[in-house]
Copies of this chain bind each other. A is one copy, B any other.
Amino acid sequence: MSYPQETFHRTHFTPGSFWAKRRAVAWQTTLPAQLAILKSTGRYDAFRMKWHPVYAEGHRALFWDSDVGKWLESACYFLAERAQDPDYSRMDKEGDGLIDEAVRELTAMIGTAQCRDGYLNIRFTVVEPGKRFTNIRDLHELYNAGHLLEAALIHHQHYQNDLLLSPMLKYVDLLCETFGPGPDQIHGYPGHPEIELALLRLYERTGHKNALKLAQFFITERGNPNGPQGQHFYLTEAEQRGEHPAERPWKDASELRLPYWYQQAHQPILEQQTIEGHSVRAMYLLTAVADLVRISRSSTDVRDCEGYKTACERLWNNMVDKKMYLTGGIGSRSEWEGFGVDYLLPQGWDEGGCYAETCASIGVMMMAERMLQLDLDGKYADIMELALYNTVLGNMSQDGKEFLYENHLASCPRRPMKRESWFDCACCPPNVARTMGMLGGYMWSTEVKGKDVTINVHLFNPATLKFQVGEHTVTLQQRTNWPWNGTVVFVLDAPSSLNITIRLRVPAWTVPFEDGSRVQIRPELPAQSISKSYLMLPPEYTSQHVKKEIEVSFSKQSMAPRLVRPHPYTSLDTVAVARGPLIYCAEDVDNDWVNDHFKSTAISRNAHLQEIVQHNDFLDEDFLMIKTTGVKLNEEQYSNRSNGVFPGFAVTQPVEPQGEQVPLILVPYYYRGNRGGRGHMRVGFKRSD
Contacts and interface: CB of A to CB of B under 8 A. Distances in A.
Given A382-B646, A641-B379, A650-B562, A635 B571 contact: no
B569 A572 contact: no
Contact of A562 (B509, B638, B652, B655): B652
A635 B569 CA distance: 8
Contact of A321 (B382, B386, B568, B639): B639
A573 interface: yes
A526 interface: no
A325 interface: yes
Contacts of A624: none
A648 B565 CA distance: 5
Nearest to A342: B350
A328 B640 CA distance: 12
Contact of A602 (B325, B344, B568, B654): B568
Nearest to A637: B568
Contact of A564 (B325, B343, B650): B650
Interface in A651-667: 651-655
Contacts of A350: 341-342
Most chain B C-beta atoms within 10 Å of own C-beta, residue among A379, A568, A572, A600: A568
Interface string A342-379: 11101101111000000000000000000000000001
A686 interface: yes
A350 B640 CA distance: 27
Interface string A577-609: 010000100000000000000011010011000
A492 to B, nearest CB: 28
Nearest to A507: B644
Q: How large is the interface on A (under 10, 10 to 19, 20 to 34, 35 or more residues)?
A: 35 or more
A573 B572 contact: yes
B352 A341 contact: yes
Contacts of A352: 340-341, 344, 346, 352
Contacts of A335: 249-250, 252
Contacts of A567: 635, 638-639, 647-649
Contacts of A641: 317, 320-321, 379
Interface string A504-515: 000011000000
Contact of A250 (B252, B324, B334, B651): B334
B648 A576 contact: yes
B568 A644 contact: no
A417 B70 CA distance: 51
A633 interface: yes
Interface in A29-55: none
B325 A652 contact: no
A565 to B, nearest CB: 5
B573 A644 contact: no
Contacts of A344: 346, 351-352
Given A508-B644, A646-B382, A648-B326, A414 B255 contact: yes
Given A252-B334, A252-B335, A325 B647 contact: yes
B650 A563 contact: yes
A225 interface: no
A103 B18 CA distance: 82
A424 to B, nearest CB: 11
A578 B650 contact: yes
A647 B568 contact: no
Given A343-B351, A352-B341, A414-B255, A599 B569 contact: yes
B573 A647 contact: no
Given A249-B249, A650-B563, A645 B509 contact: yes
A483 interface: no
A135 B173 CA distance: 54
Given A573-B572, A640-B320, A651-B575, A564 B645 contact: yes
Given A565-B650, A567-B647, 9 more contacts: A251-B334, A256-B414, A351-B571, A565-B655, A566-B648, A567-B635, A569-B599, A571-B571, A572-B573
Interface of A: 249-252, 255-256, 317, 320-321, 324-326, 328, 334-335, 340-344, 346-347, 349-352, 379, 382-383, 386, 414, 508-509, 533, 562-569, 571-576, 578, 583, 599-600, 602, 605-606, 633, 635, 638-641, 643-655, 686
5 contacts: A317-B641, A567-B648, A569-B638, A571-B571, A572-B572
